[in-house]
A and B are shown apart, each in its own frame.
Chain A
Amino acid sequence: GAVVSQHPSWVICKSGTSVKIECRSLDFQATTMFWYRQFPKQSLMLMATSNEGSKATYEQGVEKDKFLINHASLTLSTLTVTSAHPEDSSFYICSAPPLGTSGGYSYEQYFGPGTRLTVT
């Protein structure tokens, strides 16, 4: 089945530093990947849509200069949290919908295992 990996699985950083999180589709290509954030006991909130070869689309209220997204290839998207602050501590999850066999998009999404970010 479709596998999505994330690296690192957890990271602790000091306030003011930047952290890069990688999302890879291991056995399929993904022209689109999604980045979500999940706070404890809350649901996943879509942050941005990462598009291969073009700019990411950010959801309302998400600062694009703070959460830099790069979708460099059909199997890799990165999220960089710049100048991280304690309130950025969260569980960051990426997902990717593989291209459907019909050539269109399948609607299932395959999620990575998540990255736990703690900013001290």
Chain B
Amino acid sequence: SQKIEQNSEALNIQEGKTATLTCNYTNYSPAYLQWYRQDPGRGPVFLLLIRENEKEKRKERLKVTFDTTLKQSLFHITASQPADSATYLCALGTGANNLFFGTGTRLTVIP
């Protein structure tokens, strides 16, 4: 069966450290993978997209890697801040716009 698993439901990290979130998938052949941030009671906000032929993407303090052999994406937030506390969702895209979401990792950055 198809699965998208994010490594842990919750992750606590000290301010200033690098947070690393994992997204693993099975029985998908994604053309691209996206990461979103979701705050409680709000819709997701797009952060980064990485295509199947790309290994790494960066945007400010964010970095995403995509390994189609391992079927895994890693999402890093460097120099984490309390304002980074949120739920982070990975989403796989297999076609033009269909997205399949993971269950999310709730990140808490402790001051």
Contacts and interface: CB of A to CB of B under 8 A. Distances in A.
A107 B34 contact: yes
A109 interface: yes
Interface string B1-31: 0001000010000000000000000000000
Interface of A: 4, 6, 32, 34, 41-46, 49, 91, 93, 95, 97, 105, 107-114, 116
Given A34-B97, A46-B98, A107-B93, A114 B43 contact: yes
Contact of A116 (B41, B103, B104): B41
Given A108-B46, A111-B36, A111-B45, 6 more contacts: A34-B99, A43-B104, A107-B34, A108-B49, A111-B44, A113-B42
B32 interface: yes
A31 B9 CA distance: 35
B43 A113 contact: yes
B44 A44 contact: yes
Nearest to B46: A108
The A contact surface, by secondary structure, is: strand
A79 B103 CA distance: 24
A105 B34 CA distance: 15
A107 B97 CA distance: 6
Contacts of A108: 34, 46, 49
B97 A32 contact: yes
Contact of A105 (B46, B97, B101): B97
A81 B108 CA distance: 35
17 contacts: A32-B97, A41-B9, A43-B102, A43-B103, A44-B44, A44-B101, A45-B101, A46-B99, A49-B97, A49-B98, A93-B44, A95-B44, A105-B96, A107-B32, A107-B34, A107-B97, A109-B46
